Amino acid sequence: MEETLTPEQLLDMYYYMKLTRLVEERLQRLYRQGKIVGGLYRSLGQEGESVASAYALEEGDFLAVMIRNLGALFVRGVRPWEIFTQYMGKGTSPTRGKDNIVHFGSVERGIIPPISHLGDLIPVMAGIALASKMQRKRSVALTYIGDGGTSTGAFHEGLNFAAVLKLPLIVIAEDNGYAYSTPKHKQMAIENIADRAIGYGIFGETVDGNDVIAVYQATRRAIRRAREGLGPTLLEVKTFRMRGHAEHDDAWYVPRELLEYWQQRDPILRLETYLKEHGLADETTFDAITRRIEQEIEADLRYAEESPMPDPQIALEGVYAEPPSTQEIPSISREPEVKARS
């Protein structure tokens, strides 16, 4: 039986999608002004699948994102000031200026830090799921991977490990058309990434990634299976990356017709249409949400711009985990103690 989303939940997801887009638009302006440290990777056109899948999780579940899953972080409680300070390399950022983009975690919010190496998050999250199972907890672990990342060895190893042990792991495979500039048909011979689930003996499903209701319901089904001990799910979401790999990539390799096709399937516009057609919201509602977000962005960006750069001394801190509290035990000498004669 499918879970029905309430009007409040749908507007909640709309808020997070719109927040993601407007924050990224502001980041784009900061990038062009030279205020961003490093690159900028946008999720334009993909906001729906990140928000909907993370929204399906419950307290106690674990989430690990990739570079285009900013919306999922917002759902888990991350605020715009954390993102602005992170991108600007400020000392008040979650990583205290040591890293940028979404490379940070928050154990309190169930967020596992991402790994730059594509595919490597799969075995890590399989380990999180294994710990949950061994401790007899209900927690599930959810992570994302792009179509290109599914061609890595780590993806296979992690998913196979999770399948054999029937771990509560959900992998969202984002088919967004291109792995950097490589179209999907040049790196795999199958049409649907979810078909690979058969080889692992796990459940696989393909959904419209720009339909937030479909993604939410598919994720909830995967969560139910995981909690019932039925093992992992490979959930493929069909979506599209409406920008280049990053802001330095002009995406010259993407046909204009393909961009126009996906522009008509924008997840935010589709949810707006659904809400209006079902009498759940109107333009006044959307305008009010947008104004609220703009006010939040202005306040958080002001904080980020006024925040200091990190103290250089911080670079030496937190390099290693703090050692556990231990009691020093005197060493036992194998040689008899020889006392000097008086």
Tokens 């950097």 found at: 180
pLDDT at position 1 is 62
pLDDT at position 38 is 86
Is 21 strand, coil or helix? helix
Q: What are phi and psi of 114, to 5 degrees?
A: -75, 170
pLDDT at position 64 is 97
CA dist 227 and 339 (Å) reads 67
Say if residue 205 is exposed, middle or buried (CB neighbours under 10 Å; 0-12, 13-18, 19+): middle
Q: How many CA atoms lie within 13 A of 262 on its CB side?
A: 20
Whether the Cβ atoms of residue 90 and residue 308 lie closer than 8 Å to each other? yes
Class for the domain spanning 7-308: alpha beta
Q: What is the mean pLDDT of each run of 10 residues along the chain (342 residues)?
A: 88 98 97 91 95 98 96 98 96 91 92 92 97 96 96 96 98 92 90 96 98 98 98 97 86 89 95 98 98 98 96 86 61 46 44
Looking only at the bridges linking them, the beta strands covering 178-179 and 182-183 are antiparallel
Tokens 């190893």 found at: 157
- Runs of H (alpha helix) within the chain: 7-32, 47-55, 70-75, 80-87, 121-134, 153-164, 197-200, 212-227, 256-263, 267-277, 283-306
Alpha-carbon separation of residue 318 from 64, 98, 187 (angstroms): 21, 10, 39
The packing angle between helices 47-55 and 212-227, to 10°, is: 40
Mean pLDDT value across the chain = 92
Domain boundaries, the chain: 7-308
Q: What are phi and psi of 196, to 5 degrees?
A: -65, -20
The packing angle between helices 153-164 and 121-134, to 10°, is: 20
pLDDT at position 101 is 87
- Runs of H (alpha helix) within 34-92: 47-55, 70-75, 80-87
Q: Which residues pair with 145 in a beta bridge?
A: 173
Q: What is the pLDDT of residues 226-241, one digit of tens each?
A: 999 999 999 999 999 9
pLDDT at position 326 is 54
pLDDT at position 333 is 44
